[in-house]
Structures are given as C-alpha cells and as structure tokens.
Structure 1
Amino acid sequence: MHPSLLPIALYALAASAAPAPAPAPYPLHRRDQNSSANNQALISALELAPTAKDRLALLTPSDFLYDFASPPPGDAITTGLGGRTVKADSKLFPALIGTGVSMTLGFIGPCGFNTPHVHPRSSQINVVVEGQLKTQFIAENGVDAVENTLGKWQMTVFPQGAVHTEWNPTCDPAVFVAGFASEDPGVQQSTQTLFKLDDDVVRAELGVETLNGESIEQFRDQLPENVALFVEECLARCDIEADPAPNQGGPSEGGPWSAPSSALA
C-alpha cells in the first residue's frame, strides 16, 4: 500500500469498528406542552446530566412552559370543599430539575381553609394576588405562633418545617402564589398525618378514648381533606351551607367554590 494511503485506511477501519451511538431514551423532538411531565426516562437523564449545559440540551422550548390552568395528569391538583391548589414540582415540570425552585397556586373560596401542614424540604414565600388570607405558623417548640392578615400583593414567609396554615375569612375568593426553595418541597398535613398512626398512639397522644362520642377509628374518617371549609361563623356570614357529611374532597372533586381558569389570568 502506498504510504500516503495508510492514514486514510486506518481511519476508515476505526470508523467502521466504532459502535453506533445508543438511542436516546426519550424523544428529543419538540414535545407538546406538559408532555415531559411524569416522563421517568427524561427525569432520570436530567438528574444524571453532569452539567447544566447537558441538562439544557435534553429539553425543548415547550418543556419550559407550565400551564397552571391545564396542568398535566397526576397529582398536580388537590381539591376540597373550600377550594383547590395546583402545584408544579420536578416530577410534573422536569425543567425545574437543577434549578432548586418550585411553585404552587392556591384558589381559596369563601371561608376556605388550607389546613395546617408542613413542607419538610423547603421554606415558603406566600403572596396573595387576589382577595385576603389570614396566615399562621409555629416554627418549633417553645416559640409563639406568628399570625398575619395578608391583602392583595402582600407576602409572608413560612420557615422550612414550620406548621402553617392559611384561611380566607371573607365571602370573596382569594388566590395566592407560593414559591419554594426546592424542586420537591413535599407536603404533610399535620392532623391527617397524626391520625394515620396506630389508634393506641393517637389515644396516648390525645389522652382520650373517644372524640365527639366516636372512637378514634370512627373520628379518623371524619377528618377533612385539604382544602377544607372553615368556622361556622364564616359559613353563616357568607350563607354557605355546612356539609353534614365529612368535609371531604378528592383530586377531581369540586365543592361549593371552584376556581375558574380565568382566575389564573
């Protein structure tokens, strides 16, 4: 072989022996809005990407758009008799991976009550963008409760892990925007979680055998799901009929007030 042809031959041999690149485990073409949600292959690839630049290369422009008025299927929406909340976390909105932030919108109807809860992995900033909310939190044992009334465009903060709650004391709808310093802040309803423990543990904690004449097991079934309705005085003032049945609501159920899509505008 002519010496000048030797490098060309070696290059061609190496190229033919190289393995073909592995196919991507997710479609890299432009996806429809929200179609990246719950996409485990994409989520895993984003979490394993060595740099932010590599993560961006896995995403399309539509992956950076999240529609709170029409969120993806899954557990984005929590609905009760008093309103609903809509969240965007790293599972529902994978573009958040690597950013360290997430968000929830809350639509609290007249006398609506976002029941006491904690976020185990993040503090929360809470901005009222419509109506009025009362807020309260207790950061830890041995400190006083902090309570405020927030009007439109006013904000408060709930420290990470603090038990906190918001309720609407008026007869008009309220809307809040909650920002988190975590892609997956988590949420744990305080009372509902307590009553998920063994009956003996709950009896020992409360120091009683029955509540309202019912056993712990029966009383557990009467606990409201989030978002609930608030005190009798507010219900009477706003002419809202209290439900004699448990104050329950599921992810797809409505209540006496349900936020229209226009409330997002």
Structure 2
Amino acid sequence: MTPNSLFTSFLALLIASTTAVDQTVNPGLNAKLKTEATEIDKHNNDLNTDDAWIFDFNERPNYTFKPGSVVNANAATFPTLTGFGMTMAMLNLGPCAMLPPHMHSRATNLVVAISGSTSTYMYRENGVKLVKADLTPGKMTIFPQGSLHTMQNNGCDNAVLVSALNSEDTGTTNILNGALRNFPEDLMKAAFGDASLDIAKLGKNIPEVGTGSVLGSAECMQKCKMTVGRSYKRGYKFVT
C-alpha cells in the first residue's frame, strides 16, 4: 500500500460520521402533540400508556460498542419529548473508540462520564485556546452551542457517557465529512494547502453515517493490542 493510500484509509477511518441521522418514528404523533391545547390533553389523549413514557436506549438498533454508538432520545425517536426542547444521548465508546470532530448548531451539550476514561477536546472559535477535559466517572464537561469538539476512549474497556442537549433537533454536523463531500474540490485543495490532493477520493472514502463512532488513535490501539480489519459497508470493525 502506498503512503497516499495509507493516509486516505486512515483519514477515512477517523472522520466517519459521528451520529446516525435519526429517523422520525411517528410523525403523526409529533404533529398531534404540537396542536393539543393543554398538557392534560396531551397526557390523556396521546400519552395515556406507561410505555409512552419509557425510552430504552439498550433496545435501539444502533446500540453497540463495536466500535461504539450515539443513541439519541429526542422528538424524532421518542415522540413524548415533543415540545420539551431536549435531547438525551447515550454515548457508547468501545476500546479506543472516538467521536470524530463535530458541532451542534442548535444546542449546547453537557457530557458526563458514567464509566471508563475518556478525553474530550473542544475548540470554541478562532482565537481561543483548545480545551481538553479528562472524564472519569462523575466528571462532566460542556460544549457550547456551535463549538467544535471530539472525544476518545483512552482505555481497553468500554466507556459510557451521557449527553444532554437543550434542543430536540440539535443540528449535528461532522466537519470533515461535510467539507470533503460537499465543497468545491479546488477550494478544499486550497484549504488543505496542497493542490495535488485528490479531494474526490478522500471524500468518497469517508464512511456513510453509521452508529456514530469510529476507531481512534493508533497509539491507543497499539496499547490495547488491536488492529483494524477489512472494511464492511464502508465502515470498520475490531480485530484483536
């Protein structure tokens, strides 16, 4: 494999989509909840079963630690949240897994660690210092609305974090995915400072939206005696 192809494969691994695009499970219920006159009407007419008030993160189809996942409870996935202006997410990070650099255009994000050791990095805007937070159980950090942030599980065991956002439609954007797949190639070459880069190939090799996590740094993987197997459906899997 040539150095260029190694670089392309590694970049594609790092910038897979952070979070799967949530599908609206019951748009009719969302619409009805928005038109009810009172909260009593909502409760008695639309949410009158105990099951309507329970969201099971563990049973979501994208729940995994291989390499990890972002499972969102919001108005789309859990209609009962319609009108409350909140999203709650469970962040599952398998060994050395990471969430690639992304931002939320419509939400501020609070993240608290439940298990494991995770390092987060946040860059709020041009001219400010990068903020690093090492999260162990019970520790929390904040990603202000619109800030660029990423995180990685530093350990060889699973890490779990809980994320609260003050919007039911957070507007998540993966920075490199969006730029390499959508902006004009000549502008991207200029942005990278390399007119010889094959931007089309780089963009094409970025995996599609998956479960929301990718494998992280080579240093962590070496520590945990892990390697990367062959890709499947343009994603990646662990091979120990």
Query: Normalised by the size of structure 1, how large is the TM-score?
Result: 0.72
Pick aligned residue for 1:227 from 198, 202, 213: 213
Displacement of 1:248 in angstroms is: 4.1
What secondary structure does 2:228 align onto? coil
Question: Are residues 114 and 43 of structure 1, via their aligned partners in 2, closer, same or farther at CA, if it must alter by over 3 Å?
Answer: same
Mapped contact 1:115–1:227 kept (Cα < 8 A): yes
Q: 1: CA distance between counterparts of 2:107 and 2:43?
A: 25
Q: Which amino acid letter does the alignment assign opposite residue 118 of structure 1?
A: M
Which residue is equivalent to 1:255? 237
Q: 1: CA distance between counterparts of 2:126 and 2:132?
A: 16
Mapped contact 2:228–2:237 kept (Cα < 8 A): no
* 1:111 correspondence with 2:96: yes
Q: 2: CA distance between counterparts of 1:78 and 1:193?
A: 24
| CA RMSD between the two structures | 2.4
Pick aligned residue for 1:65 from 54, 57, 61: 54
Question: Are residues 78 and 187 of structure 1, via their aligned partners in 2, closer, same or farther at CA, if it must alter by over 3 Å?
Answer: farther
Unmatched runs of 5 consecutive residues or more in structure 2 = 1-23
47-56 or 164-173: which moved more? Answer: 47-56
Displacement of 1:230 in angstroms is: 1.3
What secondary structure does 2:191 align onto? helix
Which residue is equivalent to 2:138? 153
Q: Which has the larger radius of gyration?
A: 1
Bigger relative contact order (CA 8 A; separation at least 6): 2
* 1:47 correspondence with 2:34: yes
Identity %, equivalent residues = 31
Q: Which amino acid letter does the alignment assign opposite residue 59 of structure 1?
A: L
Question: Are residues 166 and 138 of structure 1, via their aligned partners in 2, closer, same or farther at CA, if it must alter by over 3 Å?
Answer: same
Question: Are residues 134 and 247 of structure 1, via their aligned partners in 2, closer, same or farther at CA, if it must alter by over 3 Å?
Answer: farther
Q: 2: CA distance between counterparts of 1:147 and 1:43?
A: 38
Q: 2: CA distance between counterparts of 1:241 and 1:81?
A: 13
Which residue is equivalent to 1:216? 199
Aligned positions, number: 210
Query: Normalised by the size of structure 2, how large is the TM-score?
Result: 0.79
